Amino acid sequence: MSRNKKTRKAGAFMTVLERKPKKQERLADPTSKESRRKKALDERKKHTSIAERKRDATMSAQERDTRAGRKGTRHGGPLADKIRKLNADKREQEQTADE
């Protein structure tokens, strides 16, 4: 039995276009590398300038939250409500135990 050297086999061939797609066409295709890269660059967090950071430091917490698009409540949500309720119940039990 003879041993054959392994060779790379070409799979399904891509269709060859008569011309290379333009950059605008590649950006229009949502699955292309260029469009995904552009989207990632747009979504990347923008760094704020030092002047903006100083201005934000002087703002109140609620103003800062509303500017950032948050609901305006600093510590809101179902978990915070649950904790507040548990703490209130604990205080009531301590008051009744003291009396």
For the entire predicted model, the pTM comes to 0.33
Distances (CA, A) of 82 to 19, 73, 85, 86, 88: 63, 16, 5, 6, 10
Residue 36, domain member (yes or no) = yes
Domain contains 5? no
Report yes or no: 74 and 65 within 8 Å, Cβ to Cβ. Answer: yes
Distances (CA, A) of 48 to 33, 51, 52, 78: 28, 8, 6, 31
Residue 9 lies in a domain: no
SS3 at position 67: helix
pLDDT score, position 78: 82
Domain residue limits at 51: 23-98
Q: Report yes or no on 84 lying in a domain.
A: yes
Structurally, the chain folds into a number of domains equal to 1
Residue 69, domain member (yes or no): yes
Q: Which residue has the tokens 């109140």?
A: 60
Q: In this predicted model, what pLDDT tens digit does every residue of 26-70 receive, in sequence order?
A: 888 888 899 999 989 888 877 888 888 888 778 777 777 777 776
